[in-house]
């Protein structure tokens, strides 16, 4: 019997499912059991061509609709997503292995928030009037044209919506390529947009690996590329986009600092460290994986952290009591286990976890290392798994310098009761998405993105509009034209 997660076909183009089994088969594996639950086929050149030509054509009429009309469709799609939250969450769990306890509140719901938010903004994308004596200039905010979205595997529904919603609100069309690891959820987003009234062809989904992504990025018809992925992929995609002078948004990796001063509320700080390391089994780009704890509270912090981490419930992700799921793939599990071995070899002190869990599927115990030093591999490289490194510090000046000593700059957090210090420290940290006495909140109203190697551009909030539109400036002369001859 066909598994309920198996989609009707691999791609969604011009308002309908499309299949081409000549493409490379991509098995979809349920991470909690290792069982194959679906197959999709990578896009062939014919599929890529169909998606791009359809999206290019559909964009013209979509951009001519009023913002109110476009916004209404996006907001209707948000309502449909919320109505179907349970089914979409089950699919997200099949796609990623993340526990239903999380997907019910974090995935289709945050996708719906993006559709609703950008649907609400669509009608207000106006220009300005600039008086120049009798003459004047007016500006118009125009769509970029055809946008390509490329997703990572950790938030397949959310990433499709974080890119698709602002792109469509501004009058662009999109061809979205999900990660080959989690290809299922974006198809549902495309289906729902059509059901909500989006014209066929404005949001299309094609499957495939990096090669298909590369074909999309280099096509001359494409005006903008928005990638969520790792820094090495980001560097390649940025170069390829520059070749065609395309706009880019790069949402890349991180190794973010979470700084806990000795006046912090310990339980809140432990909660922040748990949210910043173990949500989605640590597969979150903005995670605060370098937890700097001031020496005075170190042992108290570690004791409470170990106690609370021991309460994680590993198990069947479809059971709503489960609070900690598997790694997305066997390969990712092995990468993370490799980092855990490095941590042990390089002399970090294992506080808890440190092993593959004794279960089917790709589970790793939530792992905490203490006495981590800045030069250790686990403190320098993005692990993308449930491995927290706790580092000691003594002074504010010292911790800020050490926190910034990395190529990454996605997020940063600080826990302290001293608000002057909190704002001063955040002001000195090199990151975009920052938190005071909290960690990993990502409301659609707030800009999200990275500095340094962690990215270019911003998603969410009004900032995202700037990255999916451009300004036209029109000079209007009322009198005669003076010319030299
Ligand atoms: P990845 O870089 O391996 O792949 C990302 C996407 O890029 C995939 O869809 C892949 O098929 C595609 N791709 C690969 N090579 C390509 C090429 N040459 N041209 C075009 N597309 C290509 O990343 P991943 O392993 O799927 O995801 C994990 C990474 O994503 C982590 O580094 C994580 O930090 C990052 N991430 C960042 C954010 C953010 O918003 N900053 C969010 C989630 C994940």
User: What pLDDT was estimated at residue 1?
Assistant: 77
Q: Is the CB of 317 under 6 A from ligand 1?
A: no
CA distances from 386 to 230, 288, 470 (A): 17, 11, 40
Q: Is the CB of 229 under 6 A from ligand 1?
A: yes
Q: Whose CA is nearest to atom 41 of ligand 1?
A: 251
User: Could you confirm whether 235 is annotated as catalytic?
Assistant: no
Which atom of ligand 1 is the closest one to the Cα of 181? Answer: 26
Q: Is the CB of 332 under 6 A from ligand 1?
A: no
Rg (CA), the chain: 23
Q: Which two tokens stand for residue 327?
A: 């790694």
Q: Whose CA is nearest to atom 21 of ligand 1?
A: 213
**Beta-bridge mates of residue 35:** 30
Which atom of ligand 1 is the closest one to the Cα of 454? Answer: 41
Those residues whose C-beta lies under 8 Å from the C-beta of residue 481, and which sit 6 or more positions away, are none
Q: Is the CB of 451 under 6 A from ligand 1?
A: no
How far apart (Å, rounded) are the C-alpha atoms in residues 426 and 433? 10
Q: Is the CB of 213 under 6 A from ligand 1?
A: yes
Which of 56, 98, 163, 298 is catalytic? The answer is 163
Read off the pTM. 0.97
How far apart (Å, rounded) are the C-alpha atoms in residues 252 and 149? 14
Q: Which two tokens stand for residue 423?
A: 């704002």
The DSSP 8-state label assigned to residue 281 in this structure reads G
**Beta-bridge mates of residue 411:** 433
Dihedral of alpha carbons 291, 295, 299, 303, sign: negative
Q: Is the CB of 219 under 6 A from ligand 1?
A: no
Kindly give the distance from the C-alpha atom of residue 276 to the centroid of ligand 1, in angstroms, as a whole number. Answer: 20
Three-state DSSP state, 349: strand
The phi, psi pair for 364, rounded to 5°, reads -120, 140
Which atom of ligand 1 is the closest one to the Cα of 155? Answer: 43
Q: What's the gap between Cα 36 and its chain centre?
A: 25
User: Could you confirm whether 251 is annotated as catalytic?
Assistant: yes
Kindly give the distance from the C-alpha atom of residue 250 to the centroid of ligand 1, in angstroms, as a whole number. Answer: 10
How far apart (Å, rounded) are the C-alpha atoms in residues 101 and 325? 10
User: What pLDDT was estimated at residue 215?
Assistant: 98
What is the helix (H) or strand (E) element at residue 412, kind and residue range?
strand 411-415
Q: Is the CB of 101 under 6 A from ligand 1?
A: no
User: Could you confirm whether 140 is annotated as catalytic?
Assistant: no
- pLDDT per residue over 229-269, tens digit each? 999 999 999 999 999 999 999 999 999 999 999 999 999 99
Q: Which two tokens stand for residue 480?
A: 């005669």
How far apart (Å, rounded) are the C-alpha atoms in residues 377 and 188? 39
Kindly give the distance from the C-alpha atom of residue 154 to the centroid of ligand 1, in angstroms, as a whole number. Answer: 10
Q: Is the CB of 233 under 6 A from ligand 1?
A: yes
- pLDDT per residue over 416-457, tens digit each? 999 999 999 999 999 999 999 999 999 999 999 999 999 999
pLDDT by residue for the chain (485 residues), tens only, comes to: 799 999 999 999 999 999 999 999 999 999 999 999 999 999 999 999 999 999 999 999 999 999 999 999 999 999 999 999 999 999 999 999 999 999 999 999 999 999 999 999 999 999 999 999 999 999 999 999 999 999 999 999 999 999 999 999 999 999 999 999 999 999 999 999 999 999 999 999 999 999 999 999 999 999 999 999 999 999 999 999 999 999 999 999 999 999 999 999 999 999 999 999 999 999 999 999 999 999 999 999 999 999 999 999 999 999 999 999 999 999 999 999 999 999 999 999 999 999 999 999 999 999 999 999 999 999 999 999 999 999 999 999 999 999 999 999 999 999 999 999 999 999 999 999 999 999 999 999 999 999 999 999 999 999 999 999 999 999 999 999 999 99
Kindly give the distance from the C-alpha atom of residue 210 to the centroid of ligand 1, in angstroms, as a whole number. Answer: 9
Lookup result for tokens 């690891």: 181
């Amino acid at each position: 019997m066909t598994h309920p997660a198996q989609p009707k076909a691999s791609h969604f183009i011009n308002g309908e499912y499309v299949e081409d089994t000549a493409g490379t088969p991509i098995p979809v594996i349920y991470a909690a059991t290792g069982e194959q639950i679906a197959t999709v086929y990578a896009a062939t050149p014919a599929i890529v061509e169909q998606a791009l030509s359809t999206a290019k054509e559909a964009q013209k009429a979509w951009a001519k609709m009023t913002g109110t009309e476009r916004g209404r469709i996006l907001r209707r799609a948000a309502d449909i997503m919320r109505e179907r939250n349970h089914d979409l969450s089950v699919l997200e769990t099949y796609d990623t292995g993340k526990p239903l306890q999380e997907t019910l509140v974090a995935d289709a719901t945050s996708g719906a928030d993006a559709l609703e938010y950008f649907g609400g903004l669509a009608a207000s994308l106006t220009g300005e009037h600039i008086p120049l004596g009798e003459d004047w200039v007016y500006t118009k905010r125009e769509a970029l044209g055809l946008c390509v979205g490329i997703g990572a595997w950790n938030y397949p529904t959310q990433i499709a919506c974080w890119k698709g919603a602002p792109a469509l609100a501004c009058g662009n069309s999109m061809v979205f390529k999900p990660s080959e690891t989690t290809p299922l959820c974006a198809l549902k987003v495309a289906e729902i947009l059509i059901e909500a009234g989006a014209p066929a062809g404005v949001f299309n989904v094609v499957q495939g690996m990096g090669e298909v992504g590369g074909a999309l990025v280099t096509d001359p018809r494409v005006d903008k590329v928005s990638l969520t992925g790792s820094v090495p992929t980001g560097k390649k995609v940025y170069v390829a986009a520059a070749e065609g002078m395309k706009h880019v948004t790069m949402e890349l990796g991180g190794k973010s600092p979470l700084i806990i001063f000795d006046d912090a509320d310990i339980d809140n700080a432990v909660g922040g460290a748990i949210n910043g390391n173990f949500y989605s089994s640590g597969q979150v780009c903005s995670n605060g994986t370098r937890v700097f704890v001031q020496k005075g509270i170190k042992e108290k912090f570690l004791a409470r952290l170990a106690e609370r981490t021991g309460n994680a419930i590993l198990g069947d992700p479809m059971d709503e009591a489960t609070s900690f799921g598997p790694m997305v793939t066997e390969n990712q599990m092995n990468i993370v286990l490799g980092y855990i071995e490095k941590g042990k070899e390089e002399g970090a002190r294992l506080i808890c976890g440190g092993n593959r869990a004794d279960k089917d599927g790709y589970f790793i115990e939530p792992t905490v290392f203490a006495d981590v030093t800045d030069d250790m591999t686990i403190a320098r490289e993005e692990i993308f798994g449930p491995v927290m490194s706790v580092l000691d510090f003594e002074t504010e000046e010292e911790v800020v310098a050490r926190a910034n000593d990395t190529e990454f700059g996605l997020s940063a957090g600080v826990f302290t009761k001293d608000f002057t210090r909190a704002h001063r420290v955040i002001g000195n940290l090199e990151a975009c998405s920052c938190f005071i006495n909290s960690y990993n909140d990502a409301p659609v109203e707030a800009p999200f993105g990275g500095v340094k190697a962690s990215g270019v551009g911003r998603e969410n909030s009004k900032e995202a509009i700037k990255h999916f539109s451009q300004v036209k400036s029109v000079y209007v002369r009322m009198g005669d034209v003076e010319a030299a001859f």
